[in-house]
């Protein structure tokens, strides 16, 4: 019986200090590559509604050659808003695959936000037109902001951002985050905003189509974030049929992503572009869609990065965890 085992705890503020965008991008790139090469496994997703009105899920996986194993328990608790808290909640656990003992317990909110933003940045790098200058984003919450932040990192010619809100009102806090870095304006007509944009990011709760399919012009790229549960969608009927579809995980996208609404649509996994299994061969008039459902390997590679940096910097709380 071992009595010297330790469990590292990392809270929200500690995780935020350990996340560096460039390093997260590389960790997410590795996750997609491992998935493409069959070296990283993604286990079946749990996603269930609760009697409380919340949605609870588990994403898990492993990389056997790297002794990487773990899961993220996460979901959406809308009632948290009335408590002054964040409705999205996530907790990540890294597990020793040899013994099954927990190694590190991490607040997963910041990791989820950053790894999703990094995935969006990779999607834009691989799929958006290099001459893209105009971006439209649906939503102004945490995920919308991180998606725009990564877009500004990778779209060198980005000059304007138009944002669409649920209530049709301006969001001064959203504008303040990006003003001065490029032109930022509120869009009163969502179809016009889509029609006049090169890149469209949808980062909403996924309650239904956000715009008309007829508004989409040739050459537009979409990063779709909000559809992550059965029944959710952001894109209008018919758009996937005229688009070139890219996904993070083919099976998962058909189960809970935007692809659930057109499951027979041919698609390419983003990891296959990263590893060179296939090429995007994007043509100027192609409409492209990146259906981002988020895979467990993203959480695990970024959590491993955070755990390693915590050890290097002496961050976190180490508890005796004998067995």
* CA-based R_g, the chain, Å: 20
Query: Mind giving me the DSSP string for 53-98?
Result: S-EEEEEEEEEGGGTEEEEEEEEE-GGGGGGTS-SEEEEEEEE-TT
Q: Is the pTM of this model over 0.75?
A: yes
Which strands, in side-by-side order, build the sheet including 288-291? Answer: 183-186, 160-164, 134-138, 199-202, 221-224, 288-291, 244-247, 267-269
Query: Is the predicted pLDDT of residue 2 greater than 80, yes or no?
Result: no
Superfamily of domain 116-294: NAD(P)-binding Rossmann-like Domain (3.40.50.720)
- Write the pLDDT tens digit of every residue in 251-290: 999 999 999 999 999 999 999 999 999 999 999 999 999 9
Banded pLDDT at 87 (limits 50, 70, 90): very high
Q: Where, residue-wise, is CATH 3.30.1780.10 in the chain?
A: 6-111+297-320
How many angstroms separate the CA atoms of 118 and 154, rounded?
Answer: 10
Q: Are strands 41-42 and 55-63 parallel, antiparallel or unpaired?
A: antiparallel
How many angstroms separate the CA atoms of 209 and 191, rounded?
Answer: 11
Between the CA atoms of 27, 29, 31 and 34, what dihedral angle is there, to the nearest 10 degrees? -130
pLDDT value at position 3?
78
Fold of 6-111+297-320: ornithine cyclodeaminase, domain 1 (3.30.1780)
Mean pLDDT of 11-33: 97
Cross-strand bridge partners of residue 291: 224, 247
Return the residue matching tokens 């492993």: 62
The conformational region for residue 208 under phi > 0 = left, psi -120 to 50 = alpha, else beta, is: left
pLDDT value at position 4?
85
pLDDT value at position 269?
98
How many angstroms separate the CA atoms of 211 and 82, rounded?
Answer: 29
- Write the pLDDT tens digit of every residue in 149-191: 999 999 999 999 999 999 999 999 999 999 989 999 999 999 9
Q: Where, residue-wise, is CATH 3.40.50.720 in the chain?
A: 116-294
Mean pLDDT of 6-20: 97
Give me the chain's average pLDDT, please: 96
Banded pLDDT at 1 (limits 50, 70, 90): low
Tell me whether residue 56 is exposed, middle or buried, using C-beta atoms within 10 angstroms of its C-beta: 0 to 12, 13 to 18, 19 or more: middle
- Write the pLDDT tens digit of every residue in 213-233: 999 999 999 999 999 999 999
How many angstroms separate the CA atoms of 279 and 276, rounded?
Answer: 6
Q: Quote the Cα angle for 147-57-298, to 5°.
A: 45
């Amino acid at each position: 019986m071992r009595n010297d085992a330790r469990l590292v705890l990392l809270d929200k503020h500690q995780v935020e200090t350990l996340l560096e965008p460039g390093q997260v991008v590389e960790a997410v790139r590795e996750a997609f590559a491992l998935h493409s090469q069959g070296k990283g496994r993604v286990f079946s997703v749990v996603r269930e509604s609760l009697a409380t009105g919340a949605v609870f899920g588990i994403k898990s996986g492993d990389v056997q050659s790297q002794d990487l194993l773990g899961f993220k328990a996460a979901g959406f608790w809308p009632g948290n808003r009335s408590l002054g808290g964040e409705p999205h909640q996530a907790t990540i656990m890294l597990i020793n695959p040899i013994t099954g003992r927990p190694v590190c317990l991490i607040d997963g909110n910041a990791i989820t936000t950053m790894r999703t933003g990094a995935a969006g940045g990779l999607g834009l790098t691989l799929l958006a037109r290099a001459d893209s200058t105009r971006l439209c984003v649906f939503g102004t919450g945490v995920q919308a902001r991180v998606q725009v932040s990564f877009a500004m990192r990778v779209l060198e010619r980005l000059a304007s951002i138009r944002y669409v809100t649920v209530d049709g009102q301006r969001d001064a806090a959203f504008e303040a985050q990006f003003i001065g870095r490029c032109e930022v304006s509120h869009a009163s007509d969502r179809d016009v905003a889509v029609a006049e944009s090169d890149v469209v990011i949808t980062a909403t709760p996924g309650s239904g189509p956000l715009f008309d399919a007829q508004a989409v012009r040739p050459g537009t790229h979409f990063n779709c974030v909000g559809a992550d549960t059965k029944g959710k969608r952001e894109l209008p009927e018919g758009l996937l049929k005229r688009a070139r579809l890219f996904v993070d995980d083919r099976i998962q996208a058909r189960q809970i992503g935007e692809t659930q609404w057109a499951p027979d649509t041919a698609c390419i996994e983003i990891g296959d572009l990263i590893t060179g299994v296939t090429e995007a061969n994007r043509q100027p008039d192609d409409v492209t869609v990146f259906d981002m459902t988020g895979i467990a390997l993203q959480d695990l590679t970024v959590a491993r990065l955070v755990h390693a940096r915590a050890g290097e910097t002496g961050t976190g709380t180490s508890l005796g965890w004998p067995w």
